[in-house]
Structure 1
Amino acid sequence: MRHTLRFPRLAASLLAIALLVASGGPSTAKPPTLSALFPPGAERGQSLSVKASGTFDHWPVKCWVDGDGLSVEPAKEKGVLSVVVAADAMPGVRWIRIYDRDGATGLRPFVVGPLPEIAEAEPNDDPRTPQRIGAARVTVNGRLAKKGDVDGFAVELKAGAVLVADVEANRRLGSPMDGVLQVASADGFVLEQDDDAGGLDPRIVFRAPADGSYLVRLFAFPATPGSDIQFAGGSDYIYRLTLTTGGFLDHAFPLAVPPGGPSKVSAVGPNVPGSGPDSALDIPPGDRPERLTLSHPRLAGSVQVRRVPGAVAVEVEPDGIDKAQPLADLASVSGRIDPPGDRDAYRIALKKGETRVFRLESRAFGLPLDAVMAVFDAGGKPLAETDDVGESRDPELRFTPAADGDFRVVVRDLHGRGGPRYAYLLGVISPEPDFGLSLAADLFELPPGKPAKVAVTIDRHEGFAGEVELHAEGLPAGVTSTTAVSRPGDASAKAVTLELQGSATAPPGPFRIVGRAVRGDHRERPARARIAGFEAETDRPWLSVLPAPAPAKP
């Protein structure tokens, strides 16, 4: 069968295409993307250029920083940022977001450190020609740029000097690497190796047996195992390697403080003095229970403590099961499993039918204890025991006494290990009705003429049956929001949606979603979103206000 070409229909199609082209067509511009920053950190007081890996249809872009002491501006060269770190900036992570008129990127971390910083210099794969480091008090910003890449660094040490070699990559920077760290002699004999001191990020504390040059080598496998049996690498395999014979923060002790005090806790770690100004960390004022990140201007690293309600105690040896240390109800105690094989026991008086949750944290503080927790009655009969909870290697045990009495809570390491780093925080908690709020994303778009819908999930704990009123705070100028009420017993009990509205000329920016209990103590909880690719969360999601389409040309 012969087909005839229908010229009128073809002409109409060509005319439509011509009009679409003449009017500029639908917008092909896409929001910027940001996959990595390199170098991923800098020393306090440093000004530098940082390469932003990603896509940027409009340059210059704009930059937003969550955290103090860091200024970020686009440089003239596309994909390069000008970064200035304040001289008094506290060490720690800042989060950077890039945005333009078509949207915004996800958050990426930038680390402020207290030590001088240098860049890794290739070639340094061959152990005979490593990159030579001057004084062992430096942070190296590097990249395992290709498969099979091994980065080597030579450091000079005196006999007895303690070198800390610490890698920040997977946990803080989101690098897809499972790092392996080695310290070797000048002739290549491996003296120490580590691959999991901090999750997938290794750390070695090495005491030099003699004066001489030592080789520090870093390589990696994929964080997500694959079929390849070889060292991994790529443009996103970035890391920060700290090499120092100076003080390095491993943890604070105690691991908890009550509201209103004390104002300082002890700094604990290699080469940290036992007394003097470098032995203590300042606690910021406040009375709200929260996790606090602490640092010191003259010590590498950062640590965390909890501000908790109730009494706070510290373990006192001996405290075996036959000499259990008294622990008040609803209190918290900081302890250590030290030496190996140690078992810490606490005696607590409980009432029949009053449920308590015994919550232990060690891995949450970056410490190696793989804790097992058990409850015994006064006669030594085991009543309950627990190890890991879900994906966490920190245990939590829910216990309801069948009768009034004294009970023993015993803590040990699953593998019988122990030492100064095997610290933990044990809390006694009365489960109370409460709620939490979460967002599925930390980035929302307000299209022209339409609202931005922000879905909020309400997690009701321990039978919380109150109403929760939700509203938005800190919205960009010209943007308004509806409110919502979550009520028990209907569809809003678990989720509600807020609608943000505004003109296309409104500026983009961060905001917050807050929920407030309508009755009772009127407690407030912010909505948090998981930062994509990281274990961190943010309570400051971003709103991009998209422009109206350009009018058709005549």
Structure 2
Amino acid sequence: MSRTMVILCLAAALPALLPGAARGAEQKIGFRQLSIITPGAVQQGTTSEVKVHSNFTLDGTHTVLFNRPGLSMKLLETKPIEAPRQGRGRVGTPFRFEVIAPAEQPRGVYEVRMATKTAVSSVTHLLVTDAPVVEEQSGENGTPETAQQVSVPVCLAGRTERSEDVDYVRFAGVTGQELTCEIFAQRLTEAIHSMQSGNKVYLMDPLLTLMTADGRIIAQNDNKIGADSLITCTLPEDGDYLLEIRDTRYAGNVKYSWCVEITDQPRVASVFPFAVQAGTQTTVAVNGQALGGTETAVITAADDATTGLTEFPIETARGLAGPASVLVSEHPQVLSTGENLSPEAAMPVELPAGINGRFAESQQAHYFSIACEKGRTYRFEVVASRLNLPLDGLLEVYDAEGKLLTEMDDGLQTRDPRLYFKAPADGTYLLALRDLHDRGGEGFQYHLQAEPSGPDFEVHGEYYYAQLAPGTRMMWFARIVRLNGYTGPVTISVENLPEGVSCQPVTIPPGLTHCSLVLEAAAGAPIGASLARTVGTATIEDPAGETRTIKREGRVTCELQTQGGGQVRWPISTQIVGVTEPLDLLEVTAEPAAITLKPGEKQTLKVRIRRNKGFTEPVLLDMTFTYFSAKLGEQLPPGVTVAKESKLRLAGKVLEGTIVLEADAKKATPVENWPVAALVRVPITFSITTNYASNPISLTVLKAE
């Protein structure tokens, strides 16, 4: 399955003012659109200087945040640098930063978010490596004769800047040396806001080729970890070797940043099983390179270990390697026998359980026999692709007679399927898992979560970032998906907000699926930032009649700019909220504070803005976060709309507009004291706006008589 992107919106970007600059010098500023970091890697146990490229200035950066703890980063620039918004194909203006990576910092790619006195940023990426970092030479290295000489181990950081760009690296090797060559390209750029260049390609699709000095190919790889390449081999002879780095299409882009690790140090590719139960010790098989003969390791998961994906270092005969990605589960774990290749040989499994298996050959399917109760819902989910394993899973459920009842291929923006099955009768059912393309062999392993389920929900929405000045408000939007027959309320809240920022939780009642979240900075809120988290909670009665409270974290996606001004969404792990200096709008108010609508009736909401000195650009009013006809964030109950006679555009020095709310005579959903607010948007470009929110308004919609 190719990388799936959900085409959505041109989402909000939040502006700010340059500290220390005149107000007229910079008025309409979007969020800081981070581009690549050069070099894109830092070594464990070092202090390094890197350049962060950005559309809009990073002057006044006071906080740099990562999706995992340990790293620290600070701005080195001592004088203001102008960084006007450049064309979409440009890499942005570089700003120098110092990065401190502790010696024990786990290897891998990190999400990076920044906050300045005037804005917060989009996402960029930084690799932490155990090898010395060397930057690609500035001179010619596009032929074997001009190849850049390096010593192993090394992490070479470079770029494929233009079409038909090919880079060569030369290094010395010895007979029997176990070598790993791994490129981090898409993993370093996949969540960058603007990667398009006008050449109708988006991310780099790298290809690595290892050859002898006279051009004999030893190994080549295209896609191994997603689209990123990985070569492992044992060198056949003493002498010099060449590594060729290029895009498979010979495409190039000044933003095609990559890092290539060339190393003979121990590397763990995976462990099996890669799922363990909390409170247990599990012996796992270790797969990797240069492990010194190590074949197994013991993973200990504490009783109170947090469930979910985590990382464990692996002890090998040559020292620590990894970390290996491991799933910690609350359920007992079982191993697929590998002999359950037909319905007749199905392996009995008692639920709940985690099933761990691997397809030794192509054309295989694994069958499991499970007992189900009539009317009970069961949840089956595969974990493989999200760990960069090649399996493209397909789940199937059959009845005792072999009739296919349901199946599931992909999940949301993942090749890992998740299937909910409601048993139509008491009895034994067959659960089957196979690769969609019937592949198998090395690396085709999986974890299959199988458990009774019940009423549940998911949280989605528009909450990628927020920036707001003291005394102002900003609006996010949340949307829930109720599962397995759940119809009850869900309370949405935002955790870990910066000092001085609050967000009143909103309970989405039965009949509604969405809400607004108004973030408010107190008048005395200090400038600062944090990584926040949108969560949903609900008290649910399970099928056994027991009441329990469940909590679900919101799925976070970022905005990616594409050709022609469109945008797509891609999953990330961080939300950032920052308190800034005053923005273009100093205040947004709406009245009355409460509105009651009868079916078929209209009521007017008066919205007033206070502009910052010199700001006369158009301001747009709405109740829904839209892009053209797409509704990206909603807060009004179904059947309540904004009437055409509303005054929604405030141009020049106009300070007041109106939003006329209209309740459909037949379709308006009744609500009582439902919290809404006026959405106020300042366009930065034709596709990017800054969102503000008014004071909360209590909306009541009466039932039709």
The separation in 2 between residues aligned to 1:141 and 1:40, in whole angstroms, is 6
- Which residue identity does 1:74 align to in structure 2? L
Instruction: State the secondary structure of the residue aligned to 2:491.
Output: strand
- Further displaced range: 469-478 or 382-391: 382-391
Call closer, same or farther: CA 1:513–1:407 in 2, change over 3 Å: closer
Structure 2 counterparts to residues 354-503 of structure 1, below 5 A: 354-376=376-398, 386-389=408-411, 392-447=414-469, 449-490=471-512, 493-503=513-523
* Contact in 2 for aligned 1:264/1:280 (Cα 8 Å): yes
Q: Post-superposition shift, 1:416?
A: 4.2
CA pair 387-29 structure 1, distance change in 2 beyond 3 A? closer
1:130 and 2:153 aligned: no
The answer as to 2:111 corresponding to 1:95 is yes
Shift of 1:336: 0.7
Report the residue type matching 2:163 in the other structure: K
What is the CA deviation profile of residues 299-349 of structure 1, one whole-angstrom value per residue up to 9, with x for unaligned ones? Answer: 665542322332211223433324433321221111110134444333323
Secondary structure of 1:541's counterpart equals strand
> Is the partner of 1:262 in helix, strand or coil?
strand
Larger strand percent: 2
Q: Write the distance in 2 (CA, Å) between the matches of 1:360 and 1:344.
A: 13
CA displacement at 1:56 relative to structure 2: 5.0
Alignment of 1:78-157 (within 5 A): 79-121=95-137, 122-135=139-152, 137-157=153-173
Q: Against the structure 1 CA distance between its residues 375 and 25, is the aligned structure 2 distance closer, same or farther, given a 3 Å change threshold?
A: closer
The answer to which structure, 1 or 2, has the higher relative contact order (CA under 8 A, 6+ apart) is 2
The residue number in structure 2 matching 1:291 is 309
* Aligned partners of 1:179 and 1:220 also within 8 Å: yes
SS class of match (1:171)? helix
Going from structure 1 to structure 2, the CA distance change for 1:461 and 1:496 (only over 3 Å counts) comes to farther
> Residue 336 of structure 1 is aligned with which of 358, 361, 380?
358
From the superposition, tell whether residues 458 and 234 of structure 1 become closer, same or farther in structure 2 (CA, over 3 Å). same
1:201-240 correspondence runs (5 A): 201-221=228-248, 231-240=250-259
In structure 2, C-alpha distance between the alignment counterparts of 1:310 and 1:324, rounded to whole Å: 21
On the 8 A contact 1:114/1:300 being kept in 2, the answer is no
State the AA in 2 paired with 1:206.
C
Say if 2:381 and 2:450, in contact at 8 Å, map to a contact too.
yes
2:327 aligned with 1:306: yes
Change (3 A) 1:281 1:259: closer
Return the offset for 1:366: 0.6
Question: How far off its partner does 1:197 sit?
Answer: 1.4
| CA 1:545–1:76: 2 relative to 1, 3 Å | closer
Which residue of the partner structure matches residue 514 of structure 1?
535
Shift of 1:51: 0.7
Partner of 2:70: 69
Q: Greater shift after overlay, 102-111 or 44-53? A: 102-111
Q: State the alpha-carbon separation in 2 of the partners of residues 525 and 95 from structure 1.
A: 22
Alignment root-mean-square deviation, CA: 3.2
Equivalents in 2 of 1:324, 1:472: separation in Å?
45
Closer, same or farther in 2 for the Cα pair 1:479/1:329, shift >3 Å?
closer
For the 8 Å contact 1:469–1:518, the answer to whether it is kept is: no
> Match for residue 242 of structure 1?
261
Contact 1:442 1:538 in 2 (8 A): no
Amino acid at match of 2:34: L
CA displacement at 1:361 relative to structure 2: 2.6
Whether contact under 8 Å (2:376, 2:453) holds in the other structure is no
Contact map agreement 1:43 1:112 (CA 8 A) in 2: yes
Query: Per-residue displacement from partner, 1:86-133 (whole Å, max 9, x unpaired)?
Result: 122222333332322221211222222223322222422102332223
Contact 2:477 2:514 in 1 (8 A): no
Partner of 1:270: 289
Q: CA deviation at 1:280?
A: 4.8
Letter in 2 for 1:127: P
Q: Retained in 2: the 8 A contact 1:504–1:546?
A: no
Matched, 1:547 2:563: no
Contact 1:272 1:279 in 2 (8 A): no
Instruction: Please give the alpha-carbon distance, in whole angstroms, between the structure 2 residues aligned to 1:149 and 1:421.
Output: 32
Is the contact between residue 529 and residue 541 of structure 1 (CA under 8 Å) also seen in structure 2?
no
Query: 1:517: Cα distance to partner?
Result: 1.9
Instruction: Quote the residue 2:675 is aligned against.
Output: none
Letter of the structure 1 residue corresponding to residue 51 of structure 2: K
Which residue of the partner structure matches residue 597 of structure 2?
none
CA spacing shift, 1:108–1:358, aligned 2, 3 Å: same
In the alignment, residue 269 of structure 1 is paired with which amino acid?
A: G
Instruction: Return the alpha-carbon distance in structure 2 between the equivalents of residues 282 and 273 of structure 1.
Output: 22
- Secondary structure of the residue aligned to 1:128 is helix
**Which sections of structure 2, spanning at least 5 residues, go unmatched?**
1-21, 82-94, 196-202, 541-546, 561-568, 587-611, 615-705
Distance in 1, matches of 2:478 and 2:418, equals: 27
**Letter matched to residue 304 of structure 1:** S
Q: Does 1:198 align with 2:216?
A: no
| Residue of structure 1 equivalent to 2:573 | 538
| 2:386 partner SS | helix
Task: Determine if contact 2:184/2:228 at 8 Å carries over to the other structure.
Answer: yes
Contact persistence 1:94–1:111 (CA under 8 A): yes
Q: Does structure 2 retain, via aligned residues, the 8 Å contact 1:248–1:299?
A: no
1:253 aligns with 272
Shift of residue 75, structure 1, vs aligned partner: 1.0
Identity of aligned residues (%): 25
Q: CA deviation at 1:433?
A: 1.5
Cα offset, 1:296, TM superposition: 5.0
In structure 1, list runs of 5 or more residues that go unmatched: 1-22, 222-229
Specify the alignment match of 1:165 in structure 2.
Answer: 181
Deviation of 1:547 after TM superposition, in Å, equals 1.8
- Following TM superposition, by how much is the alpha carbon of 1:50 offset from its aligned partner in structure 2, in angstroms? 0.3
Query: Offset at 1:463?
Result: 2.6
Structure 1 residue 417, shift from structure 2 partner: 3.2
1:523 partner SS: strand
C-alpha change, 1:483 and 1:388, in structure 2 (3 Å) is closer
Paired letter, 1:256: A
Match of 2:27 in 1: 28
For the residue of structure 2 that corresponds to 1:521, the secondary structure is strand
The aligned counterpart of 1:5 is: none
CA distance in 1, matches of 2:398, 2:32: 57
Contact 1:65 1:94 in 2 (8 A): no
Compute the displacement of 1:542 (Å).
1.5
Shift of 1:272: 3.2
Letter of the 2:520 counterpart: L
Matched residue SS, 2:145: coil
* Offset at residue 424 of structure 1 (A): 0.7
**Counterpart Cα distance in 1 of 2:435 and 2:501:** 53
**Structure-2 change in CA distance of 1:425 and 1:433 (3 Å):** same
Helix, strand or coil: the match of 1:456? strand
* Cα distance change, pair 35–155 in 1 and its aligned pair in 2 (3 A): same
Deviates most, 339-348 or 66-75: 339-348
* TM-score, normalising length: structure 1: 0.83
CA distance in 2, matches of 1:376, 1:181: 43
**Farther off after superposition, 254-263 or 281-290:** 281-290
Residues 132-185 of structure 1, C-alpha deviations (whole Å, 9 max, x = no match) = 2322x3222221122211111223333443322211111343272111121223
